[in-house]
Amino acid sequence: MKTSIATVTVSGTLPTKLAAIAAAGFDGIEIFEQDFLASDFTPAEVGRMVRDHGLQITLFQPFRDFEALPEPHRSRAFARAERKFELMNQLGTDLMLVCSSVHPAAMGGIDRMAQDFRDLGDLAAKHGVRVGYEALCWGRHVFDHRDAWEVVRRADHPQVGLILDSFHTLARRIDPDTIRAIPGDRIFFVQLADAPAIPMDLLYWSRHFRNMPGEGDLDVTGFMRAVAATGYDGPLSLEIFNDQFRAGLPRMVAQDGHRSLIALMDSVRRAEPALTSAAPIPASLPAPAPVSHVEFIEFATTPAEAPALEALLATAGFARAGAHVSKPVTLWRQGGANVLVNTGEAGFTHSTYLTHGTTVSEIALMVPDAAAAFARARGLLAQPHGEEPAAGELRIPAIRGVGGSVLRLLDEGADLAGIWQVDFAASPPEPTDDPGAGITGIDHIGQTMAYDEMLSWSLFYTAIFDAQKAPMVDVADPDGLVRSQAIWAGGLRVTLNGAEARHTLAGRFIEDSFGASVQHVAFSSRDIFATAEALAARGFAVLRIGVNYYADMQARFGLPDALVRRMQTAQIMYDEDERGQFFQLYSQPREDGFFFEIVQRDGDYQGYGASNAPFRIAAQKRAARPVGMPRR
Ligand code: MG
Ligand code: MG
């Protein structure tokens, strides 16, 4: 598979873009004319720079408003084209994209357009270049790849081929399987982009909201399966116009792009196994696997700050269950929830503490095959994390996740009791006098990040694991908007919360903790009312929810008075959907903004109480600000 990306996708000057694109592992670039014009380099210099990065120019674009024009526009269009062909020779590229015309004078007529392309093909041949025709979904007469193909077919010229763009096909809901009838050798180039399903003007949607395959809601896999079926073996190129990407970090955007292409071609290969010989595919990756459950989370902290954290865990019903054989790490346990508290003053965990303060530095995921999950993650460009294991310690593969934290991959086949016994001298879970508070495990993990990192991390999870994502929801904070995206992969549930405004709870958290990290951990309970009572007895500082919430909630769901009174007494919030019921309660936020949540899911409720979030956030802000104190 030859991979390519349009220079317009990545932010920065041309040299910055090229460095980022090359570092991400692409083979080539589509050079967007404006990026060339805006630079100070001659065409020959640009060509040399591109080649010096080990890249090739796969496409020169765009050439607009060419076909079906009356004179004198027609002659001028040909003169323009000839100048671009000369420029392409200097740049060192042989393919130009001609997008379907939006010119007010364009007359239409398939045969007229075909004749124009036949003549353009002759001109291109003289310059040793080729042209590809792309149907813009807002084109004046041609806005469907089937019509563009008919023009190319009738032009019947070896220098003239078709360019397909997943956005233009899928945005118009054209069945991508119509591509299967096109000969692969007549397709000169394939551009890929996804987009969120937002109803809006096609041109505006395309210019501002495209994103990487897998980041949006379009069936890019279905599109690419059809392309692969034609036998097309040319470049696969990302052409993404996205306001966030244009302002984002070039290397991060470029790496996400390469990751998205690898994941896309991996899913094509799985869906079309018969095409493996013809389709341009990457080396095979292990299949994406769901996570069985979160085995533990680890906090990075210090001897000075650990007591407050451990006191919070104790009031939440956790008991100290062991200590690491060689490191200053203690194990706190309740039901199936394991929490490690690491006060080490060297190594990765400590540097995490130095960056973020007391924070979750590691999440351990139980997967069916840790070696396979690690190989897949590596194939998808995840950064490995390796600290040399101390003598007697087990070697467990790990990758870097959100905010530089670690995702450790534990193997289901491994002797788990053994791991705890070897590393922690912890006895297997044994009956204890401490009944805890009825917490049974980890339900979900809330990671807070800048809004413009959200797509990146949702792609990370959905590409590596067998994961699904819920539609993004907007959560109103008193001081701005927070976006929330839930992702689940079997027993791993994460909510990604993206802050756009600095004064939102999430925004303050990012500032205070110097970047993305875990802001809350939600534990599960089978009887949240009993848990609430046990927590109260232990002195757990529960978040006080406003009284108006309960009156409204009762009216919304028509719940019995007694139940609502019980919830209000325990400060439990409620949600339901057609599949089940959901109860949740929160701790008071720590000074650094971190908090615990406890949830009970009944039936098959799959959400996170998003409708409660504005009231919870308002309550947390009240709790974080002493009464009478002005807002910071
Ligand atoms: Mg395009
Ligand atoms: Mg939550």
Confidence of residue 243 (pLDDT cuts 50, 70, 90): confident
What confidence category does residue 631 fall into, taking pLDDT thresholds of 50, 70 and 90? very low
Instruction: Decide: helix, strand or coil at residue 422.
Output: helix
Alpha-carbon span 73 to 581, nearest angstrom: 65
Backbone angles phi, psi at 378, to 5 degrees: -65, -40
Q: How far is the CA of 631 from the centre of ligand 2 (A)?
A: 25
Percent of the chain with pLDDT over 70: 95
DSSP line for 503-555: TSHHHHHHHHTTS-EEEEEEEEES-HHHHHHHHHHHT--BPPPPHHHHHHHHH
pLDDT of 386-412, one tens digit each?
866 666 666 789 999 988 899 999 998
- 239 CA distance to ligand 1 centroid (A)? 6
Alpha-carbon span 594 to 520, nearest angstrom = 6
Q: 467-498 pLDDT, tens per residue?
A: 999 988 888 887 777 889 999 999 999 999 99
How close is the Cα of 360 to the center of ligand 2, in Å?
15
Tell me the C-alpha distance between 508 and 502, whole Å. Answer: 6
Question: Per-residue confidence at 282, pLDDT binned at 50, 70, 90?
Answer: low
DSSP state of 214: T
Mean pLDDT of the chain, nearest integer: 91
Asked if the model's pLDDT at residue 378 lies above 80, the reply is: yes
CA of 481 to the centre of ligand 1 (A): 32
pLDDT, residue 72, reads 97
pLDDT bracket for residue 632 (50, 70, 90): very low
pTM: 0.92
Report residue 162's pLDDT band, with 50, 70 and 90 as the boundaries: very high
Residue 278: what pLDDT?
Answer: 45
d(CA 96, CA 160): 10
The DSSP string of 571-627 is: T-EEEEETTEEEEEEEBPPPTTS-EEEEEEEEET-----GGGHHHHHHHHHHHHS-T
Whole-number Å distance between alpha carbons of 564 and 570:
10
Look at the alpha carbons of 444, 449, 455, 456 in this order and tell me if their dihedral is positive or negative: negative
Cα-Cα-Cα-Cα dihedral sign, residues 366, 370, 376, 380: positive
CA 440 to chain centre: 29
The H-or-E segment that residue 112 falls in is helix 110-126
Give percent of the chain with pLDDT exceeding 90.
Answer: 73
Q: What distance in angstroms lies between residue 7's CA and the mean position of ligand 1's atoms?
A: 12
Per-residue pLDDT, averaged over 265-278, amounts to 80
Ordered by where they begin, the domains of the chain are: 3-275 (3.20.20.150), 293-422 (3.10.180.10), 439-623 (3.10.180.10)
Span 322-369, pLDDT tens digits: 898 888 999 999 999 999 999 999 888 888 898 888 999 999 999 999
Residue reference for tokens 């401490």: 434
- Residue 298 above 70 pLDDT? yes
CA of 71 to the centre of ligand 1 (A): 27
Residue 610 Cα to ligand 2 middle (Å): 8
Q: How far does the centroid of ligand 1 lie from the alpha carbon of residue 75, in Å?
A: 25
Ligand 1 centroid from CA 598, angstroms: 47
Burial of 154 (0-12, 13-18, 19+ CB in 10 A): middle
Cα 435 from chain centroid (whole Å): 40
**Are 294 and 364 spatial neighbours (Cβ–Cβ below 8 Å)?**
yes
Banded pLDDT at 245 (limits 50, 70, 90): confident
DSSP 149-207: HHHHHHH--TTEEEEEEHHHHHHTT--GGGGGGS-GGGEEEEEE-B-------HHHHHH
Cα 145 to ligand 2 centroid, rounded to whole Å: 44
Q: What is the mean pLDDT of residues 439-443?
A: 96
Inform me whether the pLDDT recorded for 237 exceeds 90. yes
Residue 39 has pLDDT above 90, yes or no: no
pLDDT band, residue 276 (cuts 50/70/90)? low
Q: Report the Cα 360 to chain-centroid distance in Å.
A: 20
